[in-house]
Every structure is written in structure tokens, then in C-alpha cells.
């Protein structure tokens, strides 16, 4: 074998015969693909929060405030921040029922620009926009922003803090 000149010769030169090279290259390729998960892939908490938000929108759009509220932790410390600060699951539930007494007033809810950030394995922050499509008689369309703090419990992810504000 002819010696090749090196500017900085390696401490040890390893020669791989062609028949040995393919399995190593294949293994390295598979390892690289495995370790380089696409940045658009959702983590388990992100997927769960997206599902929770989709379920909330579906419950709202059926006019079912009680089902919509299942996303919230049923606790006296659950907090809603809007024009005022309100504490307690039942207080927040009654607020929704008072402000949105009819299906026309509830309209059709959509969430957009949902961003989810894991704080640790038991807490996430979700931010985004909401839109209510309503008739003039139902109160007209409404848009706003929100930030949610969610906590993981044995039943899944629950909203413990909801900060929502209308932008129009």
C-alpha cells in the first residue's frame, strides 16, 4: 500500500475494506436520522395540548360550557385573568355562562398561532389568538389573545391559569 502524505498525520490510520464500509455507513446514516428529529415534530405535551385546545373549541362550538370547562382544573385556585381576576373553577364556569348565555352569543371559536413551551415535565405555557365568529345579534365577532398555564395531573393536562383579553 502506498503511503499518502499528510500535513498533520493521524495518530493511527484505520483502513476499512469496501465490504466493511457499507454497514458502518448505513448505521451512521440511521443514527443521524434518528437523532435529528425534525424541528416541526411535536413533543408529547405539545400534541396533548393541541388536542385539548381542539376539544375545547369543539365543546364551545356545540354550546356546551360544562364540557369546555373540563379543560380547567376543578380547584379553588384556578384563575382567570381578563378585565378582572377571578378565582375558582365554579366562579370561572359561572362567568362563562353569564357572559355567553346562548349559542348565538358563544358563536364559533377558533384558536390560531398556538405556541407551546414546556417549563418542565408537569407544566407548560400555551399562548395564541382566539376568534369568535358571531352574528350581529350574537354580539358580533370578537378577537383576542391568551396565555395559559397548564399542569399535568393523572387525568391529563389542565388549565390552572387563563389570561385572555379581547383585542377588538
* CA distance linking residue 69 with residue 83, whole number of Å: 19
How many CB atoms neighbour CB 107 within 10 A? 22
Going residue by residue through the chain, which has 168 residues, state the pLDDT in tens, using 9 for 90 and above: 444 454 444 455 445 555 555 555 444 444 444 444 444 456 789 999 999 999 999 999 999 999 999 999 999 999 999 999 999 999 999 999 999 999 999 999 999 999 999 999 999 999 999 999 999 999 999 999 999 999 999 989 999 999 999 999
What is the phi/psi pair of residue 10, to 5°? -65, 155
Helix (H) or strand (E) holding 134: none
How many CB atoms neighbour CB 118 within 10 A? 14
- What letter would DSSP give residue 93? H
| Beta strand residue intervals within 9-78, DSSP E | none
Amino acid at each position: 500500500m502506498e503511503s499518502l502524505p499528510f500535513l498533520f498525520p493521524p495518530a493511527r490510520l484505520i483502513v476499512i475494506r469496501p465490504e466493511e464500509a457499507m454497514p458502518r455507513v448505513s448505521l451512521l446514516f440511521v443514527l443521524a436520522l434518528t437523532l435529528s428529529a425534525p424541528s416541526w415534530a411535536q413533543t408529547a405535551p405539545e400534541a396533548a395540548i393541541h388536542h385539548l385546545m381542539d376539544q375545547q373549541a369543539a365543546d364551545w362550538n356545540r354550546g356546551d360550557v360544562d364540557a369546555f370547562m373540563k379543560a380547567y382544573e376543578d380547584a379553588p385556585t384556578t384563575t382567570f385573568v381578563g378585565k378582572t381576576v377571578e378565582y375558582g373553577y365554579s366562579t370561572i364556569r359561572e362567568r362563562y355562562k353569564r357572559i355567553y348565555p346562548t349559542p348565538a352569543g358563544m358563536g364559533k371559536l377558533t384558536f390560531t398561532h398556538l405556541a407551546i413551551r414546556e417549563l418542565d415535565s408537569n407544566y407548560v405555557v400555551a399562548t395564541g389568538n382566539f376568534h369568535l365568529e358571531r352574528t350581529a345579534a350574537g354580539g358580533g365577532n370578537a378577537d383576542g389573545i391568551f396565555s395559559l398555564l397548564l399542569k399535568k395531573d393523572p387525568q391529563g393536562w389542565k388549565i390552572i391559569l387563563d389570561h385572555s383579553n379581547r383585542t377588538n
